[in-house]
Amino acid sequence: MCGIVGYVGRAEAPRALLQGLRRLEYRGYDSAGIATLNGAGIAVRKSVGRIADLERLVAEKPIHGHTGICHTRWATHGAVTQENAHPHFDQSGRLAIVHNGVIENYLDLRAALEEEGHVFRSQTDTEVLAHLVGREFDRQPAHTKGALVEALRTALGQVIGTYGIAMIHQDVPGVLIGARRGSPLVLGIGKGENLLASDAAAMVSHTRDVVYLKDYELAALDADGFQITTLQGDGAGYEISQVEYTEKDVSKGDYPHYMLKEIFEQSGTVRDAMRGRLVLDEATAKLGGLEMSNAELRDVERVVITGCGTALHAGMVGEYMIETLAHIPVECEFASELRYRNLPLPKDTLVFAISQSGETADTLAALRESQRKGHRTLGICNNVGSTIARESDGGVYMHAGPEIGVAATKSFTSQLVVQALIALLLGRLTHLSHSEGLNIIRELDKLPDKVAKALELNDEIARIARKYAQAKVMLFMGRQFNYPIALEGALKVKETSYIAASAHPSAELKHGVIALIDEATPSVFIAPRDAVFEKNLSNIEEVKARKGPVIAIGTEGDDHLGHVADDVILVPEAPDFLTPILTVLPLQLLAYHIAVELGRDVDKPRNLAKSVTVE
Ligand code: F6R
């Protein structure tokens, strides 16, 4: 939520900053701003709207300099206006700051500063932070880099809340300062240039060597080096890691949208999620990152899976997978609820936190709450080095590569594959036989080709999408493994098309939802050839009897659905527990094409941000 980039080096900062900011647009896009040290002072440009609007402004009224910061905003405090766009300045106008996070006690701090004569130009919590740091800096005996770090340290000591910060001061040219608590901040270590950003994706055109700043750490960067210290003022150890992906991975390539590109990457990402993790000899999965012995895994009495949005839907499929293959009771719970719920859980409960970004505030809080209660926590994350990945006791990376479209697609199928591997591992340690394990491995191995085959339905799905794009309401129905897929299909349509879509277990229709059925309300049934196929079929008949149009997602070779549904999309067959990895693909494409048909901003739907780092 909110994207930050900072640059210090020998190149023109605005170019590097705006290029980086474009890569972070998925984090928020209400307004954007940029500030550079230009020798005479601080040059600033801000605009309401997309980053393209800021780029236009900078092209019309160029700014220069070799040190600068920029920001793309997802509003929390204060309306979407130019005044509230970052960067914000201190009282002297010589310090500029960009911030991601929430300063909870900003009203008290603001009132105290106003008493001292400070004048504020915006309604944001960030401007209060800028004034606070500026005041501390002006109290320092000398205006050096060390003094600026010290001023930030003192100011942060007065702040309650979360922050990822980048800051410049005209009295300390060629220096960029950052700090983090609860909002990600990454240092990019280049040659003759160094960067700061809320996501490494913003920096890959410059460097793939990064340092993930930890909570309560401050960084001071110049063109040739950097120092990291703690909020207490001690030196901090750090590790330079290599970002796995390249610039090509974060560009759209020939696709019109990131969402479509990422949908089409899934044959590869499904393969990558299991690469090196299937052990044929032992007919099991090897997941070293769990950091648990077989004996410890065998002792697991209960599993809790948590996450938000799409990640939660993946967890709901995981619940069915683990219960089916490993016979361990599983509870899947919204992270936003789990964090405040005092679940009575046995001691040997394993808590999985699923998160593509690894930064979602509610998921992180649920993870921390589980740790407080003494449960072992495992992260299923995509972003390497993210907070959830670092704070959990172990975990499994998805290896899906950067996901930039705001609507999650490829991360979802990777989350399903990872959970299938976990279910296989747990199952093989309890009651699954060697041959059952081997069968599962063979089926997993076939998935990437089946995914590719399902995606060949794209043109047909685009045709169906055009037919139903004008619907005001859409219903999604499924059962068992595919009920969470109905939820996911409805979420994809809601967020990309703004159509009111709701999802229900098919059998729940009769208990109320059926009142919505009419000729203008399409129902999407996820009805593969599984153990509940016939039941789904009867539910489809109930809708047809009331003249509701039906789109059915079924299994290749099926000849029943064609008789009852108006439009049928058939995906390759798979064992019941793996069908969600295939049935979700047409739903992603359906949502995509409806959104395109309606002229929506597919990659950046209104009001959304990809990484929700506030509660
Ligand atoms: C939906 C979507 C969101 C995220 C949710 C959790 O397409 O993207 O619902 O799934 O905000 O995000 P992560 O997985 O980063 O924790």
Q: Looking at residue 360, which CATH number applies to its domain?
A: 3.40.50.10490
- Ligand 1 mean position, distance from CA 88 (Å): 29
In a shared domain, residues 99 and 210: yes
> Which range of residues forms the domain containing residue 113?
3-242
Is residue 347 within 8 A of residue 374, CB to CB? The reply is: yes
CA 503 to chain centre: 22
pTM: 0.88
Q: Whose CA is nearest to atom 16 of ligand 1?
A: 355
Kindly list the protein residues whose Cβ atom lies closer than 6 A to any atom of ligand 1.
307-311, 355-357, 360, 363, 407-408, 491, 495, 611-612
Q: What's the pLDDT score for residue 215? A: 92
Instruction: Answer whether residue 250 is part of any domain.
Output: no
Token pair 């172990």 in the structure block, residue = 394
What CA–CA distance (Å, rounded) separates 554 from 556? 7
Q: What's the pLDDT score for residue 292? A: 95
In a shared domain, residues 194 and 269: no
In a shared domain, residues 503 and 410: no
| Residue 308 DSSP code | S
pLDDT of residue 347 exceeding 90, the answer is: no
pLDDT of residue 291 exceeding 90, the answer is: yes
In a shared domain, residues 382 and 529: no
pLDDT of residue 69 exceeding 80, the answer is: yes
> Tens digits of per-residue pLDDT, 490-515?
999 999 999 999 999 999 998 999 99
Instruction: Answer whether residue 88 is part of any domain.
Output: yes
> Tens digits of per-residue pLDDT, 424-467?
999 999 989 999 999 999 999 999 999 999 999 999 999 999 99
- 473's CB contacts (< 8 A; 6+ apart) are 499, 500, 501, 502, 516, 520, 521
Question: Rg of the chain over CA atoms, in angstroms?
Answer: 25
Domain boundary among the residues 400, 418, 451 is at 451
Structure-token pair, residue 543: 């809708």
Is residue 44 within 8 A of residue 68, CB to CB? The reply is: no
In a shared domain, residues 198 and 260: no
Name the residues annotated as catalytic.
2, 610
Domain boundary among the residues 242, 266, 289 is at 242
Nearest Cα to 243, choosing from 288, 289, 190, 296?
190
Instruction: Answer whether residue 224 is part of any domain.
Output: yes
In a shared domain, residues 259 and 237: no
> Tens digits of per-residue pLDDT, 181-229?
988 899 999 999 999 999 898 999 999 999 999 999 999 999 999 999 9
In a shared domain, residues 461 and 584: yes
pLDDT band at 608 (very low <50, low <70, confident <90, very high): confident
Instruction: Answer whether residue 279 is part of any domain.
Output: yes
Token pair 């980053």 in the structure block, residue = 51
> Tens digits of per-residue pLDDT, 148-168?
999 999 999 999 999 999 999
Which of 308, 404, 419, 615 to mutate to test ligand 1, by most ligand atoms within 8 A of the CB atom? 308
Instruction: Answer whether residue 572 is part of any domain.
Output: yes
- 477's CB contacts (< 8 A; 6+ apart) are 486, 503, 504, 505, 506, 509, 523, 524, 525, 526, 536, 539
What CA–CA distance (Å, rounded) separates 275 from 448? 11
- Ligand 1 mean position, distance from CA 121 (Å): 34
Q: Whose CA is nearest to atom 7 of ligand 1?
A: 407
pLDDT band at 471 (very low <50, low <70, confident <90, very high): very high
pLDDT of residue 136 exceeding 80, the answer is: yes
Q: What's the pLDDT score for residue 609? A: 78
For the CA of 610, the closest atom of ligand 1 is 8
Pick the residue with more confidence: 322 or 1? 322
What CA–CA distance (Å, rounded) separates 374 from 388? 17
Mean pLDDT of 1-18: 94
Token pair 């608590």 in the structure block, residue = 181
Instruction: Answer whether residue 354 is part of any domain.
Output: yes
In a shared domain, residues 180 and 236: yes
In a shared domain, residues 227 and 259: no
Coil, strand or helix at 574: coil
In a shared domain, residues 499 and 421: no
Nearest Cα to 169, choosing from 211, 138, 205?
138
Instruction: Answer whether residue 475 is part of any domain.
Output: yes
For the CA of 407, the closest atom of ligand 1 is 7
Is residue 37 within 8 A of residue 14, CB to CB? The reply is: no
Q: What's the pLDDT score for residue 340? A: 87
Q: Whose CA is nearest to atom 9 of ligand 1?
A: 309
Q: What's the pLDDT score for residue 403? A: 93
pLDDT band at 86 (very low <50, low <70, confident <90, very high): very high
Is residue 131 within 8 A of residue 105, CB to CB? The reply is: no
What CA–CA distance (Å, rounded) separates 376 from 199? 27
Please give the mean pLDDT across all residues of the chain.
95
The span from the first CA to the last CA of the chain, in angstroms, equals 11
In a shared domain, residues 221 and 123: yes
- Angle at alpha carbon of residue 427, lines to 439 and 416, rounded to 5°: 75
- Ligand 1 mean position, distance from CA 486 (Å): 16
Q: Read out DSSP for 292-306? A: --HHHHHT--EEEEE
pLDDT band at 384 (very low <50, low <70, confident <90, very high): confident
Q: What's the pLDDT score for residue 332? A: 97
Which of 263, 310, 363, 587 to mutate to test ligand 1, by most ligand atoms within 8 A of the CB atom? 310
For the CA of 360, the closest atom of ligand 1 is 16
Domains in the chain, number: 3
Domain boundary among the residues 451, 484, 510 is at 451
pLDDT band at 74 (very low <50, low <70, confident <90, very high): confident
Q: What CATH number has the domain bearing residue 17?
A: 3.60.20.10
pLDDT band at 179 (very low <50, low <70, confident <90, very high): very high
- Ligand 1 mean position, distance from CA 431 (Å): 34
Coil, strand or helix at 509: helix
In a shared domain, residues 198 and 321: no
Instruction: Answer whether residue 614 is part of any domain.
Output: no
